Every structure is written in structure tokens, then in C-alpha cells.
Amino acid sequence: MSMKHILIALLLALLAEGLQAQNISKETTDNFNKLTWLTGTWNRTNVKAGRKAHERWEMVGSHAMKGFGVTMKEQDTAFVEKLQLVIKDNKIWYVADVAHNEAPVFFELTAISNDGFTCENSAHDFPKKIVYKLNGNKLIATISGDGKSFDYLFERL
């Protein structure tokens, strides 16, 4: 075999491996498309007096959404959370990146409908489960684990 043939075989093998890594099932793509209702800005309605909070989501490609949550205490930023919904390894992941965690935390999507989804990571300290549920122009995000549960109520701006 000539050097040219070896290089071509190597390139084809690398290309095939890359295509296989990007092999995303129709079911995963269809499920990801069910999440588009989340795009936009959601104003949190159940915050303490003197605070404001919101989440904002946008599409950043056919397999990724980027979001962030911000809580303001008067004019100061009290909390920031970088969020993502992404397809990786033919699964959908909710990724939360907050300052008190060493690295972003991945929650696997375990249930989805046209108006909600559930993501879970039983190995994470808290939360272990994140549920988003759309009700008209309102959204309830519930985080839970180890017997604790907190609801975040939002309205679409």
C-alpha cells in the first residue's frame, strides 16, 4: 500500500468517526425541537421584596439553546446562572453553571412533552431534579432533591 493510500484510508477513518460522533437520532432532534417554546425572556414573579429576577433563553444552533438567570437585589447583581440545553452523545442535557460549583453540572433530560420537561442528575448534591412546566404565558420551574423542593414562577415578557 502506498503512502497516498494510507493517508486516504486514515482520513476516511477519521471522517467516519467524526460523522458517527455527530450521529443524532431523529427522536432526539424531534424532542429538542419541542423545547423551542422556552425561548424568550421570563420574568420571575415570586421574588422577595426589593429583588427582581428573570431567565432568558435563545437558540444558538439546531442542537443548542443558551440561557441565563439573573437575580438583582435593588441595583446589585445578587446571583447569575449560565444555562444551556444541548444535544451531546445523542442525549439532551440541561447544563447549569453557577459560581458555587467547580464546573458546570449536567442534568440528563428524562421526560419531555410539548409543554414541559424533566432533567435529572442523582449524583449532584442539590438539586437532583429540574422540572419546567409551561402553562399558557406562565412557567413553573421546580428544583428538588433529598426531600426539598422550590418553585420558581415566571411570566413571559
Q: What is the DSSP string of 52-70?
A: EEEEEEEE-STTEEEEEEE
pLDDT at residue number 16: 40
pLDDT at residue number 151: 98
Residue 81 sits at φ, ψ, to 5 deg, of: -130, 125
pLDDT at residue number 119: 98
pLDDT at residue number 2: 59
Beta-bridge mates of residue 109: 119
pLDDT at residue number 17: 42
Domain 25-156, what fold? Answer: Lipocalin (2.40.128)
Residue 38 · residue 85 · CB < 8 Å = yes
pLDDT at residue number 50: 93
pTM of the model: 0.84
pLDDT at residue number 33: 96
Low-confidence spans in the chain with pLDDT less than 50: 7, 9-21
Beta-bridge mates of residue 96: 83, 105
Query: What are the extents of the domains in the chain?
Result: 25-156
Instruction: Report d(CA 112, CA 131) in Å as an integer.
Output: 10
